[in-house]
Structure 1
Amino acid sequence: MVAGVTASALIEVFRAVVRAGRGFRQEEQRSAAALLAFLDHAGEQRLGQLACGLAVDPSVVSRQVVGLVRDGLIRRRPDPEDGRAGLLSLTDEGADWLRGHRDKEAQRLLAALDRWSEDDAATLLSLLRRLEDDVRGLSTKESPRAH
């Protein structure tokens, strides 16, 4: 059983890693990457679904969407089930931008892992995936829909 002190230390290390990673990117790029990655993973979405999935206010997503549509990275089409709503999806240009962004991020991580063995990196990946599964399992159990 993991002690509370260890769990707190893990949270602080995760936060420090995220903060350090943020230093590489501008806020606008982080926001665009998160939005595009969500669409890439989840597929076509309404703006409200997108905001919920990103855990941000719909007004924030709405502002981002305007710029990403203008830049040709996402497309908006009317929702056939509700003409008042729109559906958002990744364009080919958006997928290319996201691929390039992920490649740059992977290169930065490779540089950070330069002195790591393949076994150490594989162990970290395995443990992080296990943690992700366990955290998702908790949030599913705590969700009102799960009861």
Structure 2
Amino acid sequence: MTSELPADLDVDYELTRFVRRVRGRSLRSLGDIHPRLDYGTFTFLLAICDAPDGIRGSEIAEELGVHKSTASRAIASMEKLGLISRVPDPDDGRAHLLVARPETQEKVAEYRRKSHQVLVGLLDDWTPEEVATFARSLTRLNDRAEGAL
């Protein structure tokens, strides 16, 4: 494959444009999870919700590519808002894991359900084959980006 992207198809621009729209919609919906939840902290909350057995703060920092102090501030904010709690790490009695409270998990699940419905609506005039190709392409792009970005 050539290293040049087609001039009439600016993939980076279109991805950025879509991410901005998704972020804007997310910002308008965060109050459903907690009225004082900000978008930056929300990304940390999603990482915790996606780790049903719990996750260490250092693991979140690594996963999101941020400094440990940034993760620490976000974790403190979520604890203060009552969104998460700490539980003992079964593999290391000195450490703690972060878990989302059950009501937080429910609110995040509802947020994701609504997001899914919005996306379904955006794709309602696509054929099943187009949706499947798009999903496979996004998966491939994300898998490649995981090690490169």
Maintained 8 Å contact 1:33/1:101:
no
Maintained 8 Å contact 1:40/1:95:
yes
TM-score (norm 1): 0.74
1:23 is paired with a residue whose SS is: helix
Maintained 8 Å contact 1:72/1:93:
no
The one of 126, 141, 147 aligned to 1:116: 126
Aligned position for 2:109: 99
Maintained 8 Å contact 1:33/1:98:
no
State the Cα deviation string for residues 3-40 of structure 1 (Å, max 9, x = none): 42349822222111101211212284533442232123
1:4 is paired with a residue whose SS is: coil
- Aligned pairs (5 A) from 1:5-44: 5-6=5-6, 9-26=10-27, 28-42=37-51, 43-44=53-54
Alpha-carbon shift at residue 124 of structure 1 (Å):
0.5
**RMSD value over aligned CA atoms?**
2.8
Identity among equivalent positions (%) equals: 28
Aligned position for 1:145: none
Structure 2 segments unaligned to the other structure (5+ residues): 31-36
For residue 127 of structure 2, what is the amino acid of its counterpart? S
Task: Note if 1:54 corresponds to 2:64.
Answer: yes
- Quick one: distance in 1 between partners of 2:6 and 2:84? 42
- Quick one: distance in 1 between partners of 2:47 and 2:113? 17
1:86 is paired with a residue whose SS is: strand
- Poorly superposed stretches of 4+, deviation over 4 Å: none
Aligned length: 137
Alpha-carbon shift at residue 114 of structure 1 (Å):
2.9
- Quick one: distance in 1 between partners of 2:93 and 2:22? 40
Alpha-carbon shift at residue 61 of structure 1 (Å):
2.2
- Quick one: distance in 2 between partners of 1:40 and 1:82? 22
